C-alpha cells in the first residue's frame, strides 16, 4: 500500500494517496515513511491542521527523522 500511496502522491491524487498510506499505517503503525507520505498528502491537499497532527504524531513516536520536523513547520 505504501508504494501505491507514493504513486498516487506523485500524480497529485491526494485522496487516494491518503487511503493507501492510512492502510499501510494500519498494517504497521511504526512505518515512519508511511506517516511521511500521509502528512505530505494532507499538506499538498491543503489540509494543514491534519498534516500538522500527522507530523506531530510521527515526531512523538520517533525523533530520528528530522524531515518530520521540517514538514511540521511547513504545515
Q: For residue 48, what is the domain's CATH number?
A: 1.25.40.10
**Overall pTM surpassing 0.75 (yes/no):** yes
Q: Is 1 helix (H, G, I), strand (E, B) or coil?
A: coil
Each residue of 47-68: pLDDT tens digit?
A: 999 999 998 888 888 766 666 5
Domain span including residue 46: 2-74
More confident residue, 74 or 11: 11
Q: Is 57 helix (H, G, I), strand (E, B) or coil?
A: helix
Question: What percentage of the chain exceeds 70 in pLDDT?
Answer: 83
Taking residues 12-18, report their average pLDDT: 98
What's the total number of domains in the chain?
A: 1
How far apart are the C-alpha atoms of 68 and 64, rounded to whole Å?
Answer: 9
Amino acid at each position: 500500500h505504501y508504494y501505491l500511496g507514493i504513486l498516487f502522491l506523485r500524480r497529485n491524487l491526494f485522496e487516494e494517496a491518503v487511503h493507501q498510506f492510512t492502510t499501510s499505517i494500519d498494517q504497521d503503525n511504526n512505518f515512519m515513511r508511511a506517516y511521511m507520505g500521509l502528512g505530505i498528502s494532507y499538506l499538498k491537499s491543503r489540509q494543514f491542521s491534519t498534516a500538522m497532527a500527522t507530523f506531530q504524531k510521527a515526531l512523538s513516536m520517533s525523533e530520528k527523522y528530522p524531515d518530520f520536523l521540517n514538514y511540521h513547520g511547513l504545515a
